[in-house]
């Protein structure tokens, strides 16, 4: 890392200016260094070193805050453990805040005080982003989204071609030549988004949702210009870029006059757009936003989709994406869906809002330089899955699907990984034509 | 009134004013502004944050570390008891007999809990690496105060030392981590608000 200029350091420190942020002021001053959050973090569990304790990551940011913003830190820096923002601390921050945290927030609810550890880590990432120190691998994913409209740089023609053959596939499956994947249609009830991993690697998850929409007779469309639900700038801490990405989807919903945006099965994407997005762009959405998990559960509750659980006889377990469950409050819906659609559903231990991260969150899948750590923490998830004896792992998140797929190969789990849309689609009982 | 009592009153006043300033700052900045559409009940969630979410059954920091958790609870009860007794002593009330005995036993237990936590911090590599001098000073200071608070009931000639020690404690509190006495409540509030907004807490 080249020498840090005063200007760069000042840009980092700007983030810690707590002048009008009571939440930041609070969480920067609350940790008592009891260390009791250690066992809640998979990084520490996989590698019990002090640097992986969540509080160590908090203290990296808080110690710098103390140095520049508190009387104690200025007058007695050694005593209160106040640190200067310099090359050493910056290197450490990059390594631990980017490279050793999936931002799963599991440590937060287990903290003895109630420190929002993830919030502080996000602030640390924001500091690094202001200083131009986001890992290149993560930044390149964001750049792709900014430059091409989707984080995998899929050309529009390829995307449209994929959807066209998926439409043919759908027509064959439901035996109806009028079954459609609607593209860029104005005035539909639903603008359905996708994780670009779907058209690129998992197109069947698109057909699955298309089949569900067909069965329910839903009024829906996909935008060929702006369909990407992800927002990796949420992970990099660059909130100007996060705002640009949010605004684009917002504009497309307005442009297509959609009543509701349905967020595809993507944990961080749904969090970034639903919960963080309005704060990035500093305005409320004029349209409704929901997740496909909630939508699928509502279809089943309302009887719009008929399913037969016997169509999925294998033992199924569920992996809760951290951003959807722990930080998004959605964990009953996926259980409702599975209880309806599969005949043998078992929970992992722990599960729900206490579930363990798969290891793919926090932008880890994009940052290949931390692959070893990612797989090491993933082993804990792999063993959790193995203990259930399940043959299928359902998860409503394409990032998690990706990580679980890698865990499946590395740790020889012999499982099949499915999204909830795929599960529902497989369990559907089609009405017979007269 | 003796000079050492006066010193303690001045120190306690400085401490209270500093804590008030910390608290006022947090309140002054107001509720977090959130543009997203609220999904849950923030009031219920904030209540849950101070109550159900604090249950030892809900936190790994408690149920995976029960001895430390129990020592911590005892230590904090001892701290509040000591602060209460500080006021009582200033007024000139000095418990005797069985009351003094009960207080002393409680403070002995809590003080020893404090020392136990200190020994853990010193002896565990990882906790040591997480700690700074403030962590040791704060722990030591509070544990000593608890022991001294009990001791003066049987050794009144130690009162000057007791008041000097508690004055140091009051002056130190707003500078180091002991100010979590204020920030703890703010942290619980913010966490409750955050999870309540999204409908995560209280769990249904
Ligand atoms: S957010 Fe998750 S990965 Fe990050 S420190 Fe907390 S428990 Fe560990
Ligand atoms: S449990 Fe909370 S207060 Fe204790 S060290 Fe961890 S973050 Fe700090």
Which is higher by pLDDT, A154 or A17?
A154
Mean pLDDT of B85-107: 96
pLDDT digits (tens, 9 = 90+) for B53-83: 999 999 999 999 999 999 999 999 999 999 9
For chain A, give the secondary structure using H, E and C.
Answer: CCCCCHHHHHHHHHCCCCCCCHHHHHHHCCCCCCCCCHHHCHHHHHCCCHHHCHHHHHHHHHHHHHHHHCHHHHHCHHHHCCCCCCHHHHHHHHHHHHCCCCCCCHHHHHCCCCCCHHHHHHHHHHHHHHCCCCCHHHHHHHHHHHHHCCCCCCCHHHHHHHHHHHHHHHHHHHCCCCCCCCECCCCCCEEECECCHHHHCCHHHHHHHHHHHHHHCCCEEECCCCCECCCCHHHHCCHHHHHHHHHHHHHHHHHCCCCEEEECCCHHHHHHHHHHHHHHHCCCCCCEEEEHHHHHHHHHHCCCCCECHHHCCCEEEECCCCCCCCCCCCCHHHHHHHHHHCCEEECCCCCHHHCCCCCCCCCCCCCHHHHHHHHHHHHHHHHHHHHHCCCEEECCCHHHHHHHHHHHHHCCCCCEEECHHHHHHHHECCCCCC
Is any atom of ligand 1 closer than 6 Å to the C-beta of A57? Answer: yes
pTM, two decimals, is 0.96
CB B83 within 8 A of CB A54: no
Is any atom of ligand 1 closer than 6 Å to the C-beta of A105? Answer: yes
What is the least distance, in Å, from the CA of A159 to any CA of chain B?
31
pLDDT digits (tens, 9 = 90+) for A132-142: 999 999 999 99
Atom of ligand 2 nearest to the CA of A114: 2
- Cβ-based neighbour number of residue B146 at 10 Å: 27
Mean pLDDT of A272-296: 98
Mean pLDDT of A151-167: 97
What is the per-residue pLDDT for A432? 72
What is the per-residue pLDDT for A433? 61
- With cut-offs at 50, 70 and 90, classify the pLDDT of residue A366: very high
Looking at the structure, do residues A369 and A286 belong to the same domain, yes or no?
Answer: no
pLDDT digits (tens, 9 = 90+) for B2-25: 999 999 999 999 999 999 999 999
Distance B137 CA to ligand 1 centre (A): 28
For residue A1, tell me if it sits in a domain.
Answer: no
- Domains in chain B, start-ordered, CATH in brackets? 3-38+59-180 (1.20.950.20)
Q: Mutation test of the interface with chain A: which of B190, B192, B202, B203, choosing the one with the most A Cβ atoms within 10 A?
A: B190
Candidates A97, A267, A244, A139; CA nearest to A197 is: A267
Q: Which residues contact B37 (CB under 8 A, 6 or more apart)?
A: A278, A284, A285, A289
Provide ipTM, 2 decimals.
Answer: 0.95
Distance CA B192, CA A220 (A): 36
CATH code at position A15: 1.10.1060
Candidates A103, A88, A155; CA nearest to A359 is: A103
User: Which among A20, A275, A282 is the nearest to B29, CB-wise?
Assistant: A20
Indicate the burial class of B154 (C-beta count within 10 angstroms; 0-12, 13-18, 19 or more): exposed
Among A284, A299, A314, identify where a domain stops.
Answer: A299
Looking at the structure, do residues A111 and A91 belong to the same domain, yes or no?
Answer: yes
What is the per-residue pLDDT for A387? 98
Q: How many percent of chain A have pLDDT more than 70?
A: 99
What is the per-residue pLDDT for A203? 95
Residue of B nearest to A38 (CA): B61
Looking at the structure, do residues A164 and A45 belong to the same domain, yes or no?
Answer: no
- With cut-offs at 50, 70 and 90, classify the pLDDT of residue A434: low
Contacts of B62 in chain A (CB under 8 A): 36, 112
For residue A433, tell me if it sits in a domain.
Answer: no
Mean pLDDT of B75-100: 97
- With cut-offs at 50, 70 and 90, classify the pLDDT of residue B1: confident
Would the CB atoms of B177 and A111 count as touching at under 8 Å?
no
User: Which among A50, A115, A353 is the nearest to B203, CB-wise?
Assistant: A353
What are A345's strand-pairing partners? A316
A431 is written with which tokens? 């009405």
Cα A402–A408–A411 angle (5° rounding)? 130
- With cut-offs at 50, 70 and 90, classify the pLDDT of residue B102: very high
DSSP conformational letter for B202: S
Mean pLDDT of A298-325: 98
Place of tokens 């200067």: A84
pLDDT digits (tens, 9 = 90+) for B43-59: 999 999 999 999 999 99
A408 is written with which tokens? 């499946």
Domain span holding position A187 = 138-299
CB A232 within 8 A of CB A273: no
User: Which among A51, A55, A113 is the nearest to B184, CB-wise?
Assistant: A113
What is the per-residue pLDDT for A18? 77
Mean pLDDT of A260-274: 97
Distance CA A13, CA A128 (A): 10
pLDDT digits (tens, 9 = 90+) for A333-345: 999 999 999 999 9
Looking at the structure, do residues A290 and A335 belong to the same domain, yes or no?
Answer: no
CB A190 within 8 A of CB A258: yes
Mean pLDDT of A182-200: 97
Looking at the structure, do residues A179 and A310 belong to the same domain, yes or no?
Answer: no
Give the closest residue (by CA) to ligand 1 atom 4: A101
A364 is written with which tokens? 């880890």
Tally of domains within chain A: 3
Mean pLDDT of A145-169: 97
Distance CA B143, CA B113 (A): 8
Mean pLDDT of A356-373: 98
For residue A219, tell me if it sits in a domain.
Answer: yes
Among A111, A133, A155, identify where a domain stops.
Answer: A133
Looking at the structure, do residues A354 and A412 belong to the same domain, yes or no?
Answer: yes
What is the per-residue pLDDT for A229? 98
Distance A328 CA to ligand 1 centre (A): 16
Looking at the structure, do residues A262 and A292 belong to the same domain, yes or no?
Answer: yes
Would the CB atoms of B36 and A274 count as touching at under 8 Å?
yes
What are A194's strand-pairing partners? A228
Atom of ligand 2 nearest to the CA of A36: 1
For residue A33, tell me if it sits in a domain.
Answer: yes
- With cut-offs at 50, 70 and 90, classify the pLDDT of residue A124: very high
Cα A291–A301–B198 angle (5° rounding)? 35
Which is higher by pLDDT, A433 or A257?
A257
For residue A388, tell me if it sits in a domain.
Answer: yes
Please check the confidence at residue A113 and state whether its pLDDT lies above 90.
Answer: yes
For residue A434, tell me if it sits in a domain.
Answer: no
CB A251 within 8 A of CB A180: no
Distance CA A151, CA A227 (A): 11
CATH code at position A282: 3.40.50
HSE of B51 in the Cβ direction (CA atoms, 13 Å)?
9
What is the per-residue pLDDT for A431? 79
- With cut-offs at 50, 70 and 90, classify the pLDDT of residue A2: low
For residue A288, tell me if it sits in a domain.
Answer: yes
A150 is written with which tokens? 């989707």
For residue A352, tell me if it sits in a domain.
Answer: yes
- With cut-offs at 50, 70 and 90, classify the pLDDT of residue B32: confident
Distance CA A264, CA B76 (A): 47
Indicate the burial class of B200 (C-beta count within 10 angstroms; 0-12, 13-18, 19 or more): buried
- With cut-offs at 50, 70 and 90, classify the pLDDT of residue B31: confident
Q: Which residues contact B162 (CB under 8 A, 6 or more apart)?
A: B89, B148, B149, B151, B152
pLDDT digits (tens, 9 = 90+) for A205-247: 999 999 999 999 999 999 999 999 999 999 999 999 999 999 9
Please check the confidence at residue A271 and state whether its pLDDT lies above 90.
Answer: yes
Please check the confidence at residue B142 and state whether its pLDDT lies above 80.
Answer: yes
- Give the number of whichever ligand sits closest to the CA of residue A364: 1
Query: Taking chain A, what is the end-to-end CA distance rounded to the nearest angstrom?
Result: 70
Count of positions (residues) in chain A:
434
What is the per-residue pLDDT for B204? 85
CB B49 within 8 A of CB B201: yes
Mean pLDDT of A430-434: 72
Looking at the structure, do residues A373 and A399 belong to the same domain, yes or no?
Answer: yes
What is the per-residue pLDDT for A158? 97
- With cut-offs at 50, 70 and 90, classify the pLDDT of residue A256: very high
Place of tokens 């131009």: A132
pLDDT digits (tens, 9 = 90+) for B152-200: 999 999 999 999 999 999 999 999 999 999 999 999 999 999 999 999 9
Looking at the structure, do residues A321 and A388 belong to the same domain, yes or no?
Answer: yes
DSSP B40-86: S-HHHHHHHHHTGGGSTTT-HHHHTSHHHHHHHHHHHHHHHHHHHHH
What are A316's strand-pairing partners? A345, A392
CB A405 within 8 A of CB A430: no
CB A272 within 8 A of CB A200: no
What is the per-residue pLDDT for B30? 80
Looking at the structure, do residues A197 and A277 belong to the same domain, yes or no?
Answer: yes
Among A299, A314, A336, identify where a domain stops.
Answer: A299
Please check the confidence at residue A73 and state whether its pLDDT lies above 60.
Answer: yes
Looking at the structure, do residues A290 and A318 belong to the same domain, yes or no?
Answer: no
Looking at the structure, do residues A288 and A173 belong to the same domain, yes or no?
Answer: yes
Please check the confidence at residue A1 and state whether its pLDDT lies above 90.
Answer: no
């Amino acid at each position: 890392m080249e020498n840090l200029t005063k200007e760069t350091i000042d840009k980092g420190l700007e983030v810690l200016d707590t002048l009008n942020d009571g939440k930041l002021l609070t969480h920067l001053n609350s940790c008592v260094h009891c260390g009791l959050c250690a066992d809640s973090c998979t990084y520490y569990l996989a590698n019990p070193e002090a640097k992986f304790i969540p509080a160590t990551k908090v203290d990296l940011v808080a110690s710098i805050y103390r140095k520049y913003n508190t009387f104690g830190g200025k007058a007695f820096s050694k005593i209160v453990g106040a640190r200067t923002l310099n090359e050493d601390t910056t290197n450490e921050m990059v390594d631990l805040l980017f490279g050793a945290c999936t931002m799963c927030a599991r440590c937060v609810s287990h903290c003895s005080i109630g420190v929002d550890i993830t919030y502080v880590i996000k602030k640390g990432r924001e500091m690094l982003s202001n200083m131009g120190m986001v890992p290149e691998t993560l930044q390149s994913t964001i750049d792709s989204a900014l430059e091409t409209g989707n984080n995998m740089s899929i050309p529009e023609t390829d995307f449209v071609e994929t959807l066209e053959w998926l439409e043919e596939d759908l027509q064959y499956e439901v035996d109806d030549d009028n079954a459609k994947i609607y593209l860029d249609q104005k005035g539909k009830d639903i603008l359905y988004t996708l994780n670009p991993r779907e058209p690129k690697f998992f197109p069947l998850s698109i057909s699955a949702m298309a089949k569900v929409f067909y069965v329910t007779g839903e009024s829906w469309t996909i935008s060929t210009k702006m369909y990407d639900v992800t927002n990796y700038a949420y992970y990099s801490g660059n909130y100007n870029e996060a705002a640009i990405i949010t605004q684009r989807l917002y504009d497309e919903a307005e442009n297509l006059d959609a009543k509701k945006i349905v967020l595809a099965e993507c944990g961080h994407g749904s969090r970034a757009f639903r919960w963080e997005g309005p704060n990035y762009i500093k305005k409320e959405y004029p349209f409704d936003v929901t997740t496909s998990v909630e939508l699928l559960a509502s279809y089943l509750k309302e009887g719009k989709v008929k399913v037969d659980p016997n169509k999925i006889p294998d033992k199924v377990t569920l992996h809760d994406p951290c951003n959807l469950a722990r930080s998004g409050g959605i964990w009953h819906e996926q259980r409702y869906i599975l209880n309806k659609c599969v005949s043998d559903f078992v929970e992992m231990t722990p599960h729900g809002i206490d579930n363990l991260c798969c290891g793919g969150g926090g932008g880890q899948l994009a940052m290949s330089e931390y692959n070893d750590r990612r797989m090491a923490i993933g082993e804990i998830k792999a063993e959790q899955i193995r203990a259930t004896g399940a043959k299928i792992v359902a998860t409503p998140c394409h990032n998690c699907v990706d990580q679980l797929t890698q865990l499946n190969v590395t740790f020889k789990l012999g499982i099949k990984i499915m999204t909830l849309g795929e599960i529902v689609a497989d369990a559907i009982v089609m009405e017979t034509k007269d | 009134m003796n000079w050492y009592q006066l010193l303690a009153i001045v120190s306690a006043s400085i401490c209270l004013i500093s804590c008030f300033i910390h608290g006022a700052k947090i309140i002054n900045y107001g509720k977090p502004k959130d543009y997203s559409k609220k999904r849950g009940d923030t009031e219920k969630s904030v209540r849950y944050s101070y109550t159900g979410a604090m249950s030892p059954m809900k936190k790994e920091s408690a149920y995976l570390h029960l001895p430390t958790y129990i020592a911590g609870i005892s230590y904090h009860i001892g701290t509040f008891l000591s602060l209460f007794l500080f006021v009582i002593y200033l007024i000139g009330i000095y418990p005797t007999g069985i009351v003094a005995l009960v207080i002393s036993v409680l403070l002995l237990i809590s003080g020893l809990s404090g020392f136990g936590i200190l020994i853990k911090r010193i002896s565990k590599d990882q906790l040591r690496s997480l700690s700074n001098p403030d962590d040791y000073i704060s722990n030591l200071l509070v544990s000593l105060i608890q022991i001294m608070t009990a001791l003066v009931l049987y050794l009144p000639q130690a009162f000057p030392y007791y008041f000097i020690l508690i004055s140091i404690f009051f002056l130190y509190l707003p500078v180091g981590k002991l100010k979590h006495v204020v920030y703890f409540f703010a942290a619980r509030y913010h966490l409750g608000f955050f999870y309540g907004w999204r409908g995560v807490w209280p769990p249904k």
